[in-house]
């Protein structure tokens, strides 16, 4: 039975609905501490969305110490979680319908994300995703911080021998191919066309997965 491993940000969860304000709050705080004196680099963050968070803060705060980056990351997650719990975020259209269908057909569903554990848990709890999702995995669980290794750990734990990784960024596509799974790219908010070009298939709505999988011999 085929298994489905989904990315979270930009694939299941519309991160852009809470991202800009949360990031603005971080840089407002840095300004108040005289640690930042220009605009919030929201577009720069959008361009690298999907990479592990240590890389994010190295990119956004290249001249700052690891201590400042750590503090920024911690405050960022506090604001993200508060926004999730206040209902300011949203799932992408048809997440619930697709998940209900997959589960009704006996297909295991997993989440593999570069997001931190507490952040992912907040999303899963608020939207009650664990009624469909077998387990949610964070990149924090992997020493290498490599999504391919994260997917490999899921495959090993659950004995997966066929399935797909569904995500919007190159890390998802590479993780699928590194583990012999089908790579399905999502042309959603943070997707980059040059990255999607490397996927086996590309979808623009999650429900397309229902029709698509018959083409790759993964019965739904």
Report the number of secondary-structure helices (H) and strands (E) in the chain.
Answer: 10, 6
Say if residue 50's pLDDT is above 80: no
Q: Give me the pLDDT at residue 215, please.
A: 66
Model confidence pLDDT, tens digit, residues 27-47: 999 999 999 999 999 889 888
Other C-beta atoms lying within 10 Å of the C-beta of residue 163: 27
Q: Looking at residues 99-124, what average pLDDT do you find?
A: 95
Model confidence pLDDT, tens digit, residues 52-67: 778 889 999 999 999 9
pTM of the model: 0.89
- Measure the CA–CA gap between 58 and 64, rounded to whole angstroms: 8
Q: Of all residues in the chain, what percent carry a pLDDT higher than 70?
A: 97
SS3 207: coil
- Measure the CA–CA gap between 62 and 1, rounded to whole angstroms: 45
- Measure the CA–CA gap between 17 and 135, rounded to whole angstroms: 24
What are the φ/ψ torsions at residue 162 (nearest 5 degrees)? -155, 155
| pLDDT band at 88; cut points 50, 70, 90 | very high
Q: Give me the pLDDT at residue 212, please.
A: 85
| pLDDT band at 9; cut points 50, 70, 90 | very high
Q: What are the residues whose beta carbons fall under 8 Å from the beta carbon of 68, sequence distance 6 or more?
A: 30, 35, 61
């Amino acid at each position: 039975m085929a298994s489905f491993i989904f990315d979270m940000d930009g694939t299941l969860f519309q991160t852009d609905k809470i991202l800009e304000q949360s990031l603005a709050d971080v840089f407002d705080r840095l300004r108040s501490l005289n640690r930042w004196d220009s605009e919030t680099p929201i577009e720069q963050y959008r361009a690298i969305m999907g990479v592990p968070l240590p890389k994010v803060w190295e990119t956004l705060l290249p001249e700052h110490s690891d201590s400042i980056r750590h503090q920024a990351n911690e405050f960022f997650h506090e604001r993200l979680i508060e926004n999730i719990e206040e209902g300011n975020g949203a799932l992408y259209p048809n997440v619930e319908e697709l998940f209900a269908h997959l589960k009704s057909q006996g297909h295991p569903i997993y989440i593999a994300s570069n997001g931190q554990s507490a952040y992912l848990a907040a999303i899963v709890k608020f939207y009650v995703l664990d009624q469909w999702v077998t387990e949610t995995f964070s990149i924090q669980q992997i020493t290498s911080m490599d999504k391919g290794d994260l997917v490999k750990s899921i495959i090993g734990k659950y004995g997966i021998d066929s399935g797909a990784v569904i995500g919007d960024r190159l890390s998802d596509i590479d993780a699928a191919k590194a583990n012999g799974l089908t790579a399905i790219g999502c042309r959603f908010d943070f997707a980059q066309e040059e990255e999607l070009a490397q996927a086996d298939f590309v979808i623009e709505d999650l429900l397309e997965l229902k029709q698509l999988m018959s083409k790759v011999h993964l019965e739904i």
